[in-house]
């Protein structure tokens, strides 16, 4: 998909981090942008920055986990810009913990935001994109954590694996409507996602916790969101399904594939599963 002045984009988590960086790159290519986020103050600051660079931008306060709010945000986008072409389902949170120690309230919190939030974006905006017949695009933010699991991060892994699988199906289902799909799968990026756990229903996060300090150090050493955003735009224009950002993680992808292939091949040794010539 060629991104240009004929496009309108809706971006969740758009007041900062990767979301704002993507919005800036889309606007630089001429797209009109609606920023959606929870914090009106941060939205106003983001909109002011983009407007100063010549962008046509709107804002809407929206909790992606709330269907009614997402529908209202979609209506606000249509009211301001008349149509929508690109939807960036980017809002997300992080949650870790060990089995038997994670509250189900926290589980529902991360699933509602990281997975159902994406589903809201797709289910609500697909008919709006189809209605104008000009085609469109979904960018769904997953993570490298959607391709490889790590101890202590099962809730995050679960939601990001789900976004990957969901988006792979969408790629096939939406192609007849000329709607493309890309899955953004970054590793460490300089954002505030590690602070999102402070907002989980049960609270309890502590900046003095050694695990938090360790994660903060890794994220602070991550790549710039602006670079992620520019690469994302290039991948959308190249119609890539997966948008990876860290070449050094290729070994992890190869290792996972090798494990799957080995165990898949093993099933052919089980007599009942062996193909029999007729």
Q: How far apart are CA 161 and CA 168, in angstroms?
A: 11
* Cα-based distances in Å from 166 to 15, 71, 129, 177: 25, 20, 19, 17
- Count, residues in the chain: 278
Which of 156, 166, 242, 264 is catalytic? The answer is 156
Number of H helices, E strands in the chain: 9, 7
Q: Which residues of 32-59 are buried (b: 16+ CB within 10 A; e: fewer)?
A: bbbbbbbeeebbeebbeebeeeebbbbb
Whether 166 sits among the annotated catalytic residues: the reply is: no
* Cα-based distances in Å from 165 to 171, 178, 275: 10, 20, 29
Q: How far apart are CA 15 and CA 189, in angstroms?
A: 16
For 141-205, the DSSP string reads E--GGGTS--TTBHHHHHHHHHHHHHHHHHHHHHGGGTEEEEEEE-SSBSSSGGGGGGGSTT---
Q: How far apart are CA 102 and CA 202, in angstroms?
A: 10
Q: Which residue numbers are catalytic?
A: 156
């Amino acid at each position: 998909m060629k991104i240009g002045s004929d496009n309108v984009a809706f971006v969740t988590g758009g007041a900062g981090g990767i979301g704002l960086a993507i919005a800036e790159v889309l606007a630089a290519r001429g797209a009109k942008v609606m920023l959606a986020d929870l914090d009106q103050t941060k939205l106003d600051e983001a909109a002011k920055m983009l407007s100063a660079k010549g962008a046509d931008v709107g804002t809407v306060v929206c909790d992606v986990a709330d269907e009614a709010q997402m529908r209202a945000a979609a209506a606000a986008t249509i009211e301001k810009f008349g149509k929508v072409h690109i939807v960036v389902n980017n809002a997300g949170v992080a949650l870790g913990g060990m089995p038997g120690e994670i509250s189900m309230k926290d589980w529902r919190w991360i699933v509602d935001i990281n997975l159902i939030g994406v589903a809201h974006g797709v289910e609500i905006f697909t008919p709006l994109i189809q209605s104008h017949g000009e085609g469109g695009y979904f960018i769904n933010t997953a993570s490298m954590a959607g391709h490889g699991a790590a101890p202590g991060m099962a809730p995050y892994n679960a939601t990001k694996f789900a976004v990957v699988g969901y988006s792979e199906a969408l790629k096939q289902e939406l192609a007849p409507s000329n709607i493309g799909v890309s899955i953004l799968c970054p590793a460490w990026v300089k954002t505030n996602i590690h602070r999102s756990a402070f907002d989980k229903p049960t609270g309890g996060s502590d900046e003095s916790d050694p695990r938090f300090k360790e994660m903060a150090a890794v994220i602070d050493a991550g790549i710039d969101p602006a670079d992620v955003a520019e690469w994302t735009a290039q991948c959308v224009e190249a119609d890539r399904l997966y948008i990876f950002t860290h070449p050094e993680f290729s070994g992890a992808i190869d290792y996972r594939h090798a494990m799957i292939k080995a165990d898949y091949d093993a099933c052919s040794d089980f007599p009942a599963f062996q193909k029999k010539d007729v």
